[in-house]
């Protein structure tokens, strides 16, 4: 019973949070004001952003082939592409269910054992996580002076220093406790970290590791470019720095984990990031909705078509 309640809460809570954040963002900027931005948007840049997003998803589907090949499975690119888009679409309904669905689709149509397919997806996520942290470090380096000045202006430098030292001490204590502990929780954490390291090292053991690394970097380059070029669609945002774009991109990326596909949280995350740089509320939230809507529409179209066409495509191939 408790398991069922937890399962239901995992589905319902992100949806409720998403609905609340949609209401909250629309309370700050009305629908009519957002629609004005949609009408005035330069759709050349908007469609270019969608195209770059599509390229990143195509690259992700192609990259997956490199993960499965060393395991002895040469799957069709069509199935990989449709499985990726179907996974994105399913994540909009049930959080993190897309990865399970993606592995299940390949298990069904390509006879790849579910656990092996899912293992490659986890390894992919590790590679993506490393690139994401790299982007954060680059952003901190580019915007260090601004972020430092922003923090000093709003917070006491002594308190910040004490907090950083305290965090380092707590981290050191935590690591040592986990190393020495034999509890079930400690074993799970050790196993998780071990799995992360194993997944990372497996990338360098691939026959086509450089192709995998290239596609990983290409995927994230397309994500950032997609975000950047779409900002040109709104007149009020033209001329903002690359550092501002990166901070907005990072904030928006983390917001996707908060609610299903970032519904409601995505525009507010961009507004929170852009407000640091003194960018007005209306264009920031409007850009968030334009960005989120265009990419979501692409996923709905391609994800829906993928779910419909998968059985037809594979029936034709069998014949």
Asked, for residue 168, whether it belongs to a domain, the answer is: yes
Asked, for residue 7, whether it belongs to a domain, the answer is: no
Euclidean distance between CA atoms 165 and 10, whole angstroms = 35
132-164 pLDDT, tens digit per residue, is 999 988 888 877 776 666 666 666 666 667 777
Asked, for residue 13, whether it belongs to a domain, the answer is: no
Residue of 239, 303, 284 whose CA lies nearest to 84: 303
pLDDT > 90? residue 236: no
Asked, for residue 8, whether it belongs to a domain, the answer is: no
pLDDT > 60? residue 11: no
Residues 283, 264: contact at Cβ < 8 Å?
A: no
Q: Characterise 169 by phi-psi region: left (phi > 0), alpha (psi -120 to 50), beta (else).
A: alpha
Q: Which has the higher per-residue pLDDT, 228 or 177?
A: 228
Q: How many CB atoms lie within 10 A of CB 57?
A: 20
Query: pTM score, two decimals?
Result: 0.80
Write the CA distances from 189 to 6, 253, 280, integer angstroms. 21, 25, 42
Tokens representing 192 are 């998780």
pLDDT at 1: 47
State how many domains the chain has.
1
- The whole domain housing 59 covers 28-313
Q: Which residue has the tokens 């998968």?
A: 310
- Mean per-residue pLDDT for 254-258? 80
Asked, for residue 21, whether it belongs to a domain, the answer is: no
Q: Which residue has the tokens 């982007």?
A: 135
Asked, for residue 12, whether it belongs to a domain, the answer is: no
Asked, for residue 49, whether it belongs to a domain, the answer is: yes
Residues 85, 266: contact at Cβ < 8 Å?
A: no
pLDDT > 80? residue 167: yes
Asked, for residue 273, whether it belongs to a domain, the answer is: yes
What is the number of residues in the chain?
319
């Amino acid at each position: 019973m408790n398991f069922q309640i937890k399962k239901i809460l995992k589905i319902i809570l992100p949806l409720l949070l998403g609905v609340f954040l949609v209401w909250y963002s629309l309370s700050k900027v009305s629908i009519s004001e957002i629609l004005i931005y949609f009408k005035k948007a330069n759709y050349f840049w908007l469609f270019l952003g969608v195209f770059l997003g599509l390229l990143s998803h195509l690259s992700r589907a192609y990259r997956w082939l490199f993960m499965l090949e060393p395991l002895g499975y040469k799957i069709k690119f069509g199935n990989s592409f449709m499985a990726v888009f179907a996974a994105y679409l399913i994540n909009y309904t049930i959080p993190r269910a897309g990865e399970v669905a993606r592995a299940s689709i390949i298990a069904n149509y390509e006879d790849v054992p579910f656990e092996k397919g899912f293992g490659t997806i986890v390894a992919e996520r590790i590679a993506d996580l490393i690139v994401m942290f790299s982007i954060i470090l680059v952003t901190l380096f580019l915007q260090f002076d601004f972020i430092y000045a922003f923090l000093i202006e709003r917070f006491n430098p002594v308190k910040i220093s004490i907090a950083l030292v305290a965090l380092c001490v707590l981290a050191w204590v935590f690591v040592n406790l986990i190393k020495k502990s034999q509890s079930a929780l400690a074993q799970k954490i050790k196993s998780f970290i071990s799995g992360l390291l194993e997944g990372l090292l497996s990338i360098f053991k691939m026959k086509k590791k450089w192709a995998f690394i290239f596609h990983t970097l290409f995927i994230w380059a397309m994500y950032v470019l997609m975000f950047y070029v779409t900002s040109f669609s709104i007149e009020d945002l033209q001329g903002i720095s690359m550092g501002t774009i990166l901070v907005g991109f990072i904030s928006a990326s983390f917001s996707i984990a908060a609610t299903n596909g970032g519904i409601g949280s995505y525009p507010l995350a961009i507004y929170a990031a852009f407000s640091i740089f003194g960018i007005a509320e209306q264009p920031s939230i409007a850009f968030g909705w334009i960005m989120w809507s265009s990419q979501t529409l692409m996923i709905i179209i391609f994800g829906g078509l993928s779910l419909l066409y998968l059985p037809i495509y594979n029936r034709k191939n069998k014949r």
